Structure 1
Amino acid sequence: MTDQPAPTPAGLAALEARLRQDLSWLELPAKAWTMPRMQDGKDVLDVAVIGGGMAGLAACATLTQLGIRVRAFDRAPAGLEGPWATTARMETLRSPKQLTGPALGLPALTFRAWFEAQFGEAAWQALDKIPRLQWMDYLRWYRQVLALDIRNDHRVEQIVPRADGLVALSMLTPDGPRTVLARRVVLATGRDGLGGAYVPPVADKLPRHLWAHSSDEMDYATLRGKRVGVVGAGASAMDSAATALEAGAASVEMLVRRQDIPRINKSKGAGNPGLTHGHFSLPDAWKWRLRHYINKQQVPPPRGSTLRVSRHANAYFNLGAGLESIEAQGDVLHVQTPQGTFELDFLIFSTGFRIALETRSEFAAFASHIRYWRDRYTPLQGQEDSELSDSPDLGEAFEFQEKAAGACPGLTRIHCFCYPAALSHGTVSGDIPAISDGARRLGQGIAALLYQEDVELHYAALQDFAEPEVFGDEWTPALPPALRTAKV
C-alpha cells in the first residue's frame, strides 16, 4: 500500500467563495437601516473608526454586518496598520495558533481557514506559532475580502464632541486638511491608544540619540558593534534584545528589576467565556482585584522569545538590576544598578505604556472631562495601581462618561475600543483571544444607541411603511347567511 499524496490546498479563491456563501446564508451584511443625516451640506457618517489595525478591522466588520454606515481612518499607509509590520519585533505571535481572533464567528474568516486554503491541513498541524508577518498578511486579506471602507494616510489632528449630537474629526489627508462629521466615533488605537510609551524619569535628561523605547520605529542595524542595554524582561524586551543581537550588537545587558523572571501567564489562566461576558457586570472591587492581580504578577516573556536571546553568548541576564541612576559621559551611558555600574552605548527602555490622554493633542477637547476610575473608586490598601487608576470608566458600549454631568456634551459619543478598556470590560478590545466578542459588544451597543436616539424617525418610517403582502384578490367576501342560496 502506497502513501497517498497530500490533497492540494483549495486556494484562497475557493475560500472566498465559501465566505460569500456563508454571509449570504446568514443574510449579512444587514440591510441599511440607520437614518441618513446631513449637516452643512455634508453627509454625516453613522460611525467613524480611528485605527485600521486588528481592533479597527473587527469593529468595522461588525458594524458593517449590522447595517451601519462606518468608515475607518488610519495614519499609516495601506498594509502597514498596527504594529505587526513596523514596530513589532517578535518572530511569531504569542497567542496559540488556534484562537479565532477577529473572525466574528465565521469559520471561513479565521486565520486557520486562510492558512489551510493556501498551504494545506498538514502544514497547519506542523505549525507551532503564527509568524508575525504572516498574521499581517492575513489581516490585509481580511480587510480586502470584506471590502471594508478604510482610508489610509489620514492623521486625526483633533476630535471634538459637539452638543448637536455629532463629533467632528479634523484630519490631515493626502488631499489636504479635512473635517469629517460622525454620530459616533470609535477609538481603535491600540496598546498606546490613549497615551504613549512610558519611560522612567531617570531618562529625562539623557541625550535622545542614546536611547529608544521598544515601541519606537528604529533601524536596529545602527546598533551593530555597540554595547546595548535593555530595561525590562517582558516579551517586548526579549524581542528588542534579540533583534539587537541579530543585528550585530557587541553585547546586550538585560537589566531586570525583579530577582526572577515571571514564569506563569496568569492572564491566560483567567481566559474563559465566563470572564469575557461577565467581567463588565462584576462589582467594582472584583474588577479591580482581578486586573490588579494580573498586573502585579506580570506576564512572562514567551519561552521562544527568551531562548532567542539566550542562545547568544554575548547576552547577559542581570536580575535584581533595577535602575538607580543614569549619567551620560559623552556618548557613553553609565547605568547604576544594585548589581553594579554598566557602561553602555545605547539603552532600550522596554517599560510599557501609560494612559495619559492629556499628552495627546487630538484629545484636548475632552480629555479633562472624562471620568476615570480614580474619580470614583478607591482601592483597598495594597491594591494601589496607577494603570488602573488612570483607566477610563466606560459605559456598556465602551463609551466615555462625563466626570461632571453636562460639562462636555457629546462625550458619550466617543467609544474606547482599545487596551485601556480592560478594567471596565475585560480584555476584549485589543488582544486576539476575545476581540470578536468585544467587537460584537461594541457594535450591538452602538446599534442600540443609534436606534434609540432616532426612535421617533423609525416610528414615522414604520407608519409610512406601505409594502403590501396581501392584495385583496385572494378571497371573495361571503354573503350574509340569509342571502346565500341553499345547497341541495
Structure 2
Amino acid sequence: MNIAIPHRPDTHAETRLAQLAAQARSDLAMLDYATRPWVLPRQWNGQTIPDVVIIGAGQSGLVLGHTLKRRGVGNILLLDRNPEGYEGVWETYARNYEIRSPKTITGADLGIPSLSIQSWFVARHGQEAWDAIDRVPRVDWMNYLRWYRDIADLPIRNGVNVVDVDYDADGVTLSLDTGETIRTRYVVFATGMEGGGDWIVPDPIRNALPDHMYNHSCEVYDSDRLRGKDVGILGAGASAFDSSVAALESGARRVDTFMRRTQIGLLDLVREFETGGYLNHSHELSDETKWELGTFLTGLSQAPAEHHFNKALSFSNFKFWNGAPWDKVAYDDGKAVVTTPRGVFKLDHVIAATGVTVDLSIRPELRRLAGDALLWRDRFTPPDGDMSAGRLKLPYLDRDYRLQQRVPGAAPGIERLFIFNALATLSMGGLSAVSISGHRFGVPRIASGLTRALFLDQEDQLIPTLREFDTPSIQLTPYARAMLGMDD
C-alpha cells in the first residue's frame, strides 16, 4: 500500500510547471482545427446572451466548459458559489488524504497528455514521487484543478448563488442572490453530490441535540473544535472514516464510529465499473437493469478509503462498533446520550456521516422544475410494485442528460436544462455524472447534446448564412482579373 510520501522542497517546481503550461497551450493550439466559434449569437433585450451557463465551476463544470470551448462554443459562463480556487469539495469539506480514484484516471486532459494529472504531478513533485503513489493526494488534486482552470481560460464568476431557474420555449432566466438576472439559451447543473437535495442529518439527532453539538460529515467545520472531546460518528462509509481521522488528528479524546450493519463493506465495486464498456454505454441499459443496478449498489456498503481506514485503526483511542444502530438519542447535562444494542455512550459531539437526500423542492434553483420534470416514478414501476423508493424521485433524463417534460406541452423550455450532477446517476447507469472516472465518457456526451441543440437551433439560418458568405479563397491579380473578364 502506498500512502503519504514526503515531497522535498523543490525550487525548480514552479519553473517546470510554467514550462508544462506553455507546452499545454502549444498542444491546444496545435489541435485547434474546428475549434473556432460557430454559434450565431442570440439577443435578449438588446444584449447578446450566453449560449450555455454552467452552474458549478468544480471539476465537472471546468472540464465541460473546456470541452465546449474546444468545440467552438466559447460564449459560455460558469457560476460558482465558492471563492476562486475553492470550487468543489477538495479544500472545503473533504477530509480524505487522497482522492479515491486511481492516479491513472483521465478525462480532464481531453486526450492531451500535457494536460493530464500525471504531467502536472511530475512537474510539481518529480517522477519518483509519482511512481511512489497509488492515488493523488487531495490537496494536489485541487492544485491541479487550479492550474487547469488557468489553462482552460474560461469565463467564471465566483461568489454567486443561483436562487431561481425559470424557463420558456426561447431560453432560461437565472436569478442570482445578488439581485441580478442572467438570460441564457441552455443551462447545465454541475453541482455535485448534493446538487439534487442536501446532506441529511437523521431526525433523532436533529430533534434531540442542540445545533452546536452535531455536524454532517460533509459540512464545512473546524475539526480543531473536537480537541479533548468524546466524538461519536454515525456511519461506516468513506466520509465516516475521513471524519474519524480528522477528529483523531485534531486531538479528540476518543472517537467511536458506529454502523447499523453487522459487517463493514470491504468491496470497492466502483473500480470494477471503470471499463470502456460500462462508462461509455451504461446510459443505454434498460430501465429494469438500471433499477436493479441501483438496488444492488444501494444495498452494498461501499468500502472506506484504505488509507483512512488503517489510519483510524492505528489510534488507540478509536473504536469501531458494528451492529450498533442508534436506537435512541437524548441530550442530558451537556452530553449526547446515544443508546445502541452494544451499549449506551455519552458523547460531547456527534458527526452524521449519513449521506444525501434527494428532494428537488428544497433547493431554490430546482423548486420550479420539481413539478414540471419527468421523474422515474412517472415512467417506471419497480418489480416489487413499491413506489415509495427514494430513487423514484430522480429525474428521468434523456441520453444527453437533458430534463424532459412530465406532461408534454405543459413546461416548454425544461429541455433546455441539463443535469450533470448526482441527479443523473439512475438515468445514466451510475458513474457518468459525478465520478471523476465518468468524465472521459460523460463529458463528451453531454457536450454533444449541447452542441447538437445549438446547431439545430440555427438550422433555418444555415443556408441564408452560406449565401451571405463572400470572402474569396483566391486573391486575384490584375492579370487574373483581366483573363477572367472581371475588369468591366
TM-score above 0.5, yes or no: yes
Q: Does 1:448 align with 2:457?
A: no
One-letter amino acid matched to 2:192: G
Matches within 5 A, 1:393-472: 393-426=396-429, 427-469=431-473
For the 8 Å contact 1:289–1:383, the answer to whether it is kept is no
- 1:199: how far off? 2.1
| Distance verdict in 2 for CA 1:29–1:351, change over 3 Å | farther
- 1:91: how far off? 1.0
One-letter amino acid matched to 1:447: T
Identity among equivalent positions (%) equals 35
Does the residue aligned with 2:257 lie in a helix, a strand or coil?
strand
Q: Deviations over 1:8-42 (max 9, x none)?
A: 87712221222122212211671111111111122
One-letter amino acid matched to 1:303: E
- 1:460: how far off? 1.5
Q: Does 1:63 align with 2:68?
A: yes
- 1:368: how far off? 1.4
1:106 to 109, 112, 136: 112
Matches within 5 A, 1:91-102: 91-102=97-108
CA distance in structure 1 between the aligned counterparts of 2:45 and 2:129, rounded to whole angstroms: 56
Does the residue aligned with 1:87 lie in a helix, a strand or coil?
coil
CA distance in structure 2 between the aligned counterparts of 1:372 and 1:341, rounded to whole angstroms: 42
CA distance in structure 1 between the aligned counterparts of 2:152 and 2:196, rounded to whole angstroms: 28
For the 8 Å contact 1:187–1:416, the answer to whether it is kept is yes
1:131 to 124, 137, 145: 137
CA distance in structure 2 between the aligned counterparts of 1:312 and 1:346, rounded to whole angstroms: 19
For the 8 Å contact 1:357–1:367, the answer to whether it is kept is yes
For the 8 Å contact 1:61–1:146, the answer to whether it is kept is yes
Q: Does 1:295 align with 2:298?
A: yes
Does the residue aligned with 2:398 lie in a helix, a strand or coil?
coil
- 1:384: how far off? 7.9
1:203 to 196, 205, 222: 205
One-letter amino acid matched to 2:471: E
| Distance verdict in 2 for CA 1:43–1:469, change over 3 Å | closer
- 1:294: how far off? 2.1
- 1:341: how far off? 1.6
Which deviates further from its counterpart, 139-148 or 452-461?
A: 452-461
Q: Deviations over 1:405-456 (max 9, x none)?
A: 1222211111101122111123112111121321111111100011112110
One-letter amino acid matched to 1:47: V
One-letter amino acid matched to 2:440: S
- 1:383: how far off? 9.0
**Alignment-derived partner of residue 483 in structure 1:** none
CA distance in structure 1 between the aligned counterparts of 2:439 and 2:390, rounded to whole angstroms: 21
Matches within 5 A, 1:89-238: 89-163=95-169, 165-172=170-177, 176-206=178-208, 207-238=210-241
For the 8 Å contact 2:280–2:442, the answer to whether it is kept is no
Does the residue aligned with 1:104 lie in a helix, a strand or coil?
coil
One-letter amino acid matched to 1:434: G
For the 8 Å contact 1:267–1:294, the answer to whether it is kept is no
| TM-score normalised by structure 2 residue count | 0.91
- 1:153: how far off? 0.9
Which deviates further from its counterpart, 8-17 or 22-31?
A: 8-17
Q: Structure 1: give runs of 5+ residues left out of the alignment.
A: 1-7, 478-488
Does the residue aligned with 1:366 lie in a helix, a strand or coil?
helix
- 1:127: how far off? 2.4
Structure index of larger Rg: 1
Does the residue aligned with 2:437 lie in a helix, a strand or coil?
coil
Matches within 5 A, 1:262-301: 262-301=265-304
| TM-score normalised by structure 1 residue count | 0.91
- 1:385: how far off? 8.3
- Cα RMSD for the two superposed structures: 2.1
| Distance verdict in 2 for CA 1:214–1:382, change over 3 Å | farther
**Alignment-derived partner of residue 17 in structure 1:** 22
Q: Deviations over 1:321-344 (max 9, x none)?
A: 012121112321111112122111
CA distance in structure 2 between the aligned counterparts of 1:337 and 1:382, rounded to whole angstroms: 33
CA distance in structure 2 between the aligned counterparts of 1:29 and 1:221, rounded to whole angstroms: 52
Q: Structure 2: give runs of 5+ residues left out of the alignment.
A: 1-11
For the 8 Å contact 1:94–1:129, the answer to whether it is kept is yes
CA distance in structure 2 between the aligned counterparts of 1:338 and 1:475, rounded to whole angstroms: 100
For the 8 Å contact 2:17–2:124, the answer to whether it is kept is yes
Does the residue aligned with 1:326 lie in a helix, a strand or coil?
strand
Q: Deviations over 1:310-358 (max 9, x none)?
A: 1111111100001212111232111111212211111100001111111
| Distance verdict in 2 for CA 1:384–1:133, change over 3 Å | farther
Q: Deviations over 1:55-111 (max 9, x none)?
A: 010111111111112110101110111110010001111111111242121111111
Does the residue aligned with 2:231 lie in a helix, a strand or coil?
strand
Q: Deviations over 1:281-307 (max 9, x none)?
A: 111111112232122113110111111
The aligned length equals 467
